[in-house]
A and B are shown apart, each in its own frame.
Chain A
Amino acid sequence: MAEEETEEEVEAAIAVYGADCTVIRRSPPYLVVRLQPRTANDISQQYPSVPPMLELKDTKGLEDGKVSRLLSELRELADELTSNPMLVAICEKALDRLTEMNQPDGNCCFCMEPLVMENEVSNLRPFMKLLSCFHCFHSECFIRWWRWMLQRKNLDKSDVLLISRPEEEKDVIASCMKLLEEAEMKCPVCRKSINIQDMLSIWSILTADLGQEQDFLPDAEVIFSNTEIERKAKFDELFRAQQHRGGIIEPRKLEVIVPGMFVSLPSARADDEESGLASSTLQASESSSSSADARGELLQVTDNVSLGGQQTGQCEDSGRGSKSSERFNNPLTQKKGRRPNHTGAKKGYWVRRDHEGSK
């Protein structure tokens, strides 16, 4: 064999095996060639007769459940399409599903219902997003809260509500700025201040008409299950045991709590002062149909609050001032008349307690 031919062969080997071929000596030829099976780099060697291996990467932002659901759907599709071209079909399916899944996870913090219902064709309860913190809420829940906050801050009747019918964009911005300045609203989830950017993105929905919020019947089976009845019995037992040892905080003078009575909040204090014990008792007998009333007895009336012995002298009620406005300090006077309606009711609540059994 001519030397020339040998040279050509070496060249050919280098050309064919490239980096896997190391020439140690050209003549006489001495080559080291690294050889692998031809199929070593194919992950799925028999594609498309066997479906390709699929993996999802960089899934940050996609909830774990959705990641595994998406992957199993894609694998299913790959199985179905075995022996057919499928790469584009799989990518397209992934794209479609990702688009559908591009919705917030979790519950609305106001109503605790899912923000977006699974498998719901048309989302009946639209949601909104605060642009600065990305927290999402059902629009109607957010609006209810927003209006309630404005009302509490006494801003509901001020001219800031002119944002309902602004003529021009600059009016919108001005109204939003003014409202933010006066109301200092914060995201209910993270307390980040709601800014002008958020306002501009939501102002149009803030004036939407809202239906009446619906109330529902509780599931009596859960709330009054045997476990619950047992637990209540334990509560009562504990209460009586602690009361027996003087461990229960006794109500103060005039704080007579009668099952069925209406306890007013501080704002309703003034006109409540006149109604006295007599009507409290009357109220109790009026609503004597419930089981608590049957057992209902007057809470012990003490002339002063004793917190059990000498040590207690140290514990004084120092919370007067701003803190004393809380209802528990207020003489628990009672409001005449029947239970108020939900709307326009005086602030307060009805007391029903079932553990006042022991005198």
Chain B
Amino acid sequence: MSANSNLPRRIIKETQRLLSEPAPGISASPSEDNLRYFNVMILGPTQSPYEGGVFKLELFLPEEYPMAAPKVRFLTKIYHPNIDKLGRICLDILKDKWSPALQIRTVLLSIQALLSAPNPEDPLSENIAKHWKTNESEAVETAKEWTRLYASGA
């Protein structure tokens, strides 16, 4: 797909708005070769174990978007009960709770919120979730350590 391909107007509108009015702590940039593929950066929210980290994600808008949800995955390693080692994210709005009224922006904001509020009750990584539930302060320390090791910016 080249930059000259036609796209649904909604994707164009969303892209232009993402670029011109980025949400705080979130940056999304379409790939030159495929305007349905976005390089995403999310800053670790303050007062979370991910503070100070810059997390890279990839986001892809499938052909059916916005009827179907975007595909999003962490590229940067992250220690989080709702994110597995392949970077896949357990978030209801990316699955059965998707609605076409949601947008790239709202999806990324939700992921940012998930970093602030890990939910070990609905885990994707059982072991991290168990760690979180049995010894939260230690799990948070591990998350901070991973952030420092893998997600520090530049």
Whether the pair B33, A290 counts as a contact (CB closer than 8 A) is yes
Interface flags for B60-95 (1: CB within 8 Å of A; 0: not) read 101110110001011111010000111110100000
Tell me, rounded to whole Å, the shortest Cβ–Cβ distance linking A190 to chain B.
9
Report the nearest A residue to B54, measured CB to CB. Answer: A238
Interface flags for A328-359 (1: CB within 8 Å of B; 0: not) read 11000000000100100101011111110000
The answer to whether B3 has its CB under 8 Å from any CB of chain A is yes
The answer to whether B142 has its CB under 8 Å from any CB of chain A is yes
Size of A's binding interface in residues, CB under 8 A: 72
Interface residues of B in 88-140 (CB under 8 A from A): 88, 90, 99-101, 103, 123-128, 131
Asked if A238 meets B153 with Cβ closer than 8 Å, knowing A188-B100, A248-B56, A249-B74, the reply is yes
The answer to whether B48 has its CB under 8 Å from any CB of chain A is no
Among A109, A314, A352, the residue within 8 A (CB) of B127 is A314
Asked if A145 meets B67 with Cβ closer than 8 Å, knowing A189-B101, A222-B20, the reply is yes
Count how many pairs of residues, one from A and one from B, have CB atoms less than 8 Å apart in the complex: 196
CA distance A248 to B109 in the complex (A): 22
Say what secondary structure dominates the interface of chain A.
Answer: loop
Q: How large is the interface on B (under 10, 10 to 19, 20 to 34, 35 or more residues)?
A: 35 or more
Interface flags for B5-28 (1: CB within 8 Å of A; 0: not) read 011111011111001100000010
Interface residues of A in 313-333 (CB under 8 A from B): 314-319, 323, 326-329
Whether the pair B86, A328 counts as a contact (CB closer than 8 A) is yes
Whether the pair B77, A109 counts as a contact (CB closer than 8 A) is no
Whether the pair B31, A352 counts as a contact (CB closer than 8 A) is yes
CA distance A241 to B53 in the complex (A): 13
Chain B contact residues, CB within 8 Å of chain A: 1-4, 6-10, 12-16, 19-20, 27, 29-37, 39, 41, 54, 56, 58, 60, 62-64, 66-67, 71, 73-77, 79, 84-88, 90, 99-101, 103, 123-128, 131, 142, 145-146, 149-151, 153-154
